[in-house]
Amino acid sequence: MSEKTRLQELTMKLPSHIDLFICSASFEARCMSVASVLAASSIDEALIFSDPEISGPQGRANAQTLLSTFNDRAKLIEVRLRESIDVADKMIGALSNIGTLKTVVVDVTTFTHESLLIFFCVARMLYSDDLRMVGVYNGAADYSLGLERAEKWLTKGVLEIRSILGFAGESQPTQSQHLILLAGFELERAERIIDAYEPALLSIGLGAALESIGPNHHDVNKWFHGKLTERYAASVKNFAFAPDDLVRTKEAILSQSRAHRGFNTVVAPMNTKISTLGAALAALEDPTIQICYAVPEQYNREGYSSPSDEAYVFEIPLN
């Protein structure tokens, strides 16, 4: 379960001492929202992951701001987000060089869905059972700034659709595909995933209104969900999930999968990073589930999002 709090009160919801803080620097101002309210003196070490090519000049500037926030306690790890093996290798190298840890705080806000799930796999591989990992997520006040609902976009184009490292699933060649898609704001990427898998059964999840990050987000999300449902109406099963709760999202995915047995199940998490971790938990409980990702060709760097003054705090179970 996650707890919603104001950013200015975030430190009261986190451990008083943090052995390791982990975040991702990007072109979004949101990448600095959580770090800006933390006390650097309460953190022993910080790891900042960044792809300088994708994040561009603004992302590189944000990475330097994050480095200065933690002074000599921070290390910048450059990764190539379009190359998942590089992401995994760099994460393993960075996390393996850190001593014994008891408390880790991860700002999941601006990790890509794929890099976040790769990190989750690496953390499960390297960290002991008694480590406490706390996630923090700064929800956006708005997305695709300045554009009307029908014109909003976060990314354009798709370079590749692939299964995520550590979440390849266990498919049976004699079974048809059941694609479970957690709908967000990206119509083109969702359509490309659906068309690539050509599922015999398509389940499209809509974030429940009361569990939405914000009422305006739910309205936009509902519109995009409706467009997808309209296009693929013949094979669509609709269901609800909780964008603000990874455990309830896990349960919603597993329920949808178990209600339609006899298929190879693929999950495409395209909503909040909290719900993306819920997809990971579902795949851990049912290892037949595959999780996929559509690699974007272009990001809306100029108007991707604006930060809100709130954050969600939640435990990330590694076992």
Quick one: three-class SS letters along 10-71? HHHHCCCCEEEEEEEECCCHHHHCCHHHCCHHHEEEEEEEECHHHHHHHHHHHHHHHHHHCH
Of the chain, the percentage scoring pLDDT greater than 90 comes to 80
Contacts with 199 (C-beta within 8 Å, 6 or more apart), sequence order = 176, 177, 178, 179, 235, 266
Tell me, yes or no, whether 252 lies in a domain.
Answer: yes
Judge if 7 and 137 occupy the same domain. yes
Residue type, 317: P
Q: How deeply is 261 buried, as exposed, middle or buried, from its count of CB atoms within 10 A (0-12, 13-18, 19+)? A: exposed
Mean pLDDT across the stretch 177-204?
94
Judge if 160 and 257 occupy the same domain. yes
Q: pTM for this structure?
A: 0.95
DSSP-derived pairing of the beta strands 3-6 and 310-315: antiparallel
Cα–Cα distances in angstroms (integers) from residue 264 to residues 124, 175, 248, in the given order:
25, 6, 22
Tell me, yes or no, whether 148 lies in a domain.
Answer: no
Q: Two tokens at 88?
A: 């995994």
Side-chain-facing half-sphere of 294: CA atoms under 13 Å? 27
Judge if 114 and 159 occupy the same domain. no
Q: Two tokens at 7?
A: 């950013």
For residue range 61-107, list pLDDT tens digits in order: 999 999 999 988 999 999 999 999 999 999 999 999 888 899 999 99
Judge if 256 and 290 occupy the same domain. yes
Q: How many residues does the chain have?
A: 319
- Determine the angle formed by the axes of helices 113-126 and 84-96, rounding to 10 degrees: 40
Judge if 126 and 27 occupy the same domain. yes
Mean pLDDT across the stretch 303-308?
93
Judge if 175 and 58 occupy the same domain. no
Position with higher pLDDT, 210 vs 307: 307
Contacts with 156 (C-beta within 8 Å, 6 or more apart), sequence order = 188, 296, 297, 298, 300
CA–CA–CA angle 263, 82, 128 (5° rounding):
70
Judge if 81 and 163 occupy the same domain. no
Judge if 291 and 178 occupy the same domain. yes
Q: pLDDT-derived band of residue 188, with 50, 70 and 90 as boundaries? A: very high
Tell me, yes or no, whether 117 lies in a domain.
Answer: yes
Mean pLDDT across the stretch 19-37?
97
Tell me, yes or no, whether 19 lies in a domain.
Answer: yes
Judge if 159 and 295 occupy the same domain. yes
Tell me, yes or no, whether 43 lies in a domain.
Answer: yes
User: What's residue 71's pLDDT?
Assistant: 85
For residue range 251-284, list pLDDT tens digits in order: 999 999 999 999 999 999 999 999 999 999 999 9
User: What count of other Cβ atoms lies within 10 Å of the Cβ of residue 311?
Assistant: 26
Tell me, yes or no, whether 149 lies in a domain.
Answer: no
Contacts with 223 (C-beta within 8 Å, 6 or more apart), sequence order = 149, 150
Judge if 205 and 113 occupy the same domain. no
User: What's residue 212's pLDDT?
Assistant: 56
Judge if 190 and 228 occupy the same domain. yes
Range of 101's domain? 3-142+305-315
Give the chain's domain count. 2
Tell me, yes or no, whether 181 lies in a domain.
Answer: yes
Judge if 178 and 266 occupy the same domain. yes
Tell me, yes or no, whether 11 lies in a domain.
Answer: yes
Q: At residue 126, does pLDDT exceed 70?
A: yes
Place of tokens 């995009």: 224
CATH no. for residue 42?
3.40.50.11700
DSSP annotation string for 269-306: E-S-HHHHHHHHHHHHHSTT-EEEEEEEEEE-TTTSEE
CATH no. for residue 289?
3.40.50.620
Beta bridge partners, 205, equal 182, 239
